Chain A
Amino acid sequence: AQSVTQLDSHVSVSEGTPVLLRCNYSSSYSPSLFWYVQHPNKGLQLLLKYTSAATLVKGINGFEAEFKKSETSFHLTKPSAHMSDAAEYFCVVSDTMDSSYKLIFGSGTRLLVRP
């Protein structure tokens, strides 16, 4: 079975400093991985996706993630945090072996950005 584990429930950074949100995955085959962002009482917006084309994936708003098969990780980074980055971030894997192609979500990491 596929799964994702987000290693931090909360991350707090100062504005202008780097962001690192950690995610490990478990999959018996090449996974399709995503990072989604959710602002309070809003739907989810796709930040970026990995589908085996390149291990370093660039997304919107300056975010990027690196797929590391040897470490089963897909950590999300951003060089410089902005106040508008404060939100909940979800690491997600698509269950491509299930006929539903459902998304399997991590428990989320809440990013706080201090002025």
Chain B
Amino acid sequence: DGGITQSPKYLFRKEGQNVTLSCEQNLNHDAMYWYRQDPGQGLRLIYYSQIVNDFQKGDIAEGYSVSREKKESFPLTVTSAQKNPTAFYLCASRRTGVNQYEQFFGPGTRLTVL
């Protein structure tokens, strides 16, 4: 089955630590996204990548970093500079092309700062 996998499902971080969230897709999609979800709110865009070796900041990129070395992988690092990292993180991908706006989501990673 094609889809998006995220790991781990739950992640605990101590103050001052960097942590990396994994996102892998086998849908052969060019574009990938990271969103953050806080309780009672919709999702907000952190970073996105439209092609391998290229990525752009989204609306709330401060304190986060990404890489896109392979088409199927788009890991997100939450750095110690992120002041309030406790949230639910969702990865998504999109097929590029004319009128291709739908995004497919992974199951998410819940990050808690201790």
Residues of chain A touching chain B, judged by Cβ–Cβ distance below 8 Å, are: 9, 32, 34, 36, 41-46, 49, 51, 90, 92, 94, 96, 99-103, 105-108
CB within 8 Å: A-B pair count:
66
B-chain residues with CB within 8 Å of residue A9 when the two chains form the complex: 40
- In the bound assembly, the distance between CA atoms of A14 and B103 in angstroms comes to 31
Residues of chain B touching chain A, judged by Cβ–Cβ distance below 8 Å, are: 4, 6, 31, 33, 35, 40-45, 48, 50, 56, 58-59, 88, 90, 92, 94, 99, 101-108, 110
* Interface contact A41-B110, CB-CB below 8 Å: yes
13 A-B contacts, Cβ less than 8 Å apart?
A9-B40, A34-B102, A41-B110, A42-B107, A43-B105, A51-B101, A99-B56, A100-B33, A102-B48, A102-B59, A103-B43, A103-B103, A105-B42
B-chain residues with CB within 8 Å of residue A46 when the two chains form the complex: 102, 104
* Interface contact B45-A102, CB-CB below 8 Å: yes
* Interface contact B105-A44, CB-CB below 8 Å: yes
* Interface contact A106-B42, CB-CB below 8 Å: yes
Q: What's the minimum C-beta distance from A9 to chain B, rounded to whole angstroms?
A: 8
Most chain-B Cβ atoms within 10 A of its Cβ — which of A96, A101, A102?
A102
- In the bound assembly, the distance between CA atoms of A92 and B48 in angstroms comes to 17
- In the bound assembly, the distance between CA atoms of A100 and B40 in angstroms comes to 25
* Interface contact B48-A43, CB-CB below 8 Å: no
- In the bound assembly, the distance between CA atoms of A43 and B107 in angstroms comes to 4
A-chain residues with CB within 8 Å of residue B103 when the two chains form the complex: 103
Identify the closest chain B residue to A9 (Cβ).
B40
